[in-house]
Amino acid sequence: MKIVITDAQTVFDEIVTAAPIYELGETKEFGLLKYDDVAESIKDAEVILCNKTVLDKNSLRLAKNLKYIGLFATGYNNIDIEYCRENGIAVCNAGSYSTNAVAQHTFALILEHFNNTAKYGKYVSDGKWKRSKTFSPFVYPLNELAGKTIGIVGLGSIGTAVAKIANAFEMKVIAYNRSQKNVEGVTQTDLDTLLRESDIVTVHCPLNDDSQNMFDKAAFEKMKRSALFVNTARGGVMVEQDLYRALKDGKIGGACIDTLAVEPMVEDCILMDAPNCIITPHIAWAPVETRQRLIDIVVENIKSFYRGERLNRVV
C-alpha cells in the first residue's frame, strides 16, 4: 500500500519513530505540510496518516485512490467526515491512547498551582534560601488538595482517570456529563452547580457544537473567586478574552492551560499577559510511552482495516 504521513514532526522524534509504519508499505513522510501543498503531496496515496492536517474536500480532491485516513489523535474535527462518507473513505482515530498521560499532566498543573514548586525552585537557584532568616521561608502560599472540591467537565476515559487521582488525594469529586455515568467516588451534577461549588474546574470533554466557547464570561462569573480553571482538552471550549478578563479582574483565582484555539501560540496571545496563569504548549498527550502506544494503535487500525474489520472506525 502507498502511505503518506502529512505532519510527521507533530508525532515523531529520535525516540519515537515511524519505523513500524514503514513496514506496512511504501511510505512517504512529510514533516509538516502546508495546507496549499497537501493536495499534490497526497494524490497517489491509498492511506493517509495525519495528526492535525486539514483534510477537506479541497485538499482531498486529487486523491482518487484513497481508501483510508488514520489519525494520530482521538479528535477528528480536521477531517471532512461527510466527504469521506460520500466517497467511501474509511476514517479511524486512536481513542484512549493518552488517558493516563493527560490525567497526569492535569494534576501536574494543579499541583504546580497549589505548591508553587517552580517558583520555590527558582527561589533556591537564585541563592535566596542561603540568605533566608528561617529554614522554611513562606515566600509563596501552599495549599492542600485534600478536602477541596474538584469539578470535572466530561466523564470520558480521561475525566474518569482524573476522578480516580482526585479520590486518592481525598478530594470531593463532582462532575458534569451529558449522560449519566456510574463512576466510583463521583457525584454527578448540573454545570451551574459544578461551577458554583468547585475549587478546581477541569475540562475533559471533546470540542463540538455543545462545548464550543462553553467557558465564557458567564461561566467564569459563576465560579468561586478562588477557583482554579484547568483546560487540557481543546482551546475552543473557552473564550480566551473572557478568561483573561476573569483572571485580570480577580473573578477566579488562576488558570492552567495546555491548549489554545490557535496553535502554536500566536505572537499577541492575550493569555501571555494574564496573571496567575500557567500555560504549557499542548504537551499533555506527549510522553514517550504515550506516543509509542499511539503508533501501535495507528498501525493496528490499518491492519484491521485491511482485514475487513472496523477497529476504531469513525466512518
Active-site positions? 234, 263, 282
CA 26 to CA 5: how far, in whole Å?
11
CA 150 to CA 120: how far, in whole Å?
25
> DSSP label at 237?
G
CA 244 to CA 262: how far, in whole Å?
16
CB neighbour burial string for 207-216, b if at least 16 within 10 angstroms, e if fewer = beeebeebbe
Q: Kindly give, in sequence order, each residue whose CB lies less than 8 Å from that of residue 169, ignoring residues fewer than 6 positions away.
A: 145, 146
Of 122, 138, 79, 109, the C-alpha closest to 259 is 109
Residue type, 150: I
CA 312 to CA 91: how far, in whole Å?
8
DSSP codes, 93-152: --TTTTHHHHHHHHHHHHHHHHH-HHHHHHHHHTTTGGG-SSSS---S-----TT-EEEE
CA 103 to CA 285: how far, in whole Å?
9
Helices and strands, counts by H and E, the chain: 10, 12
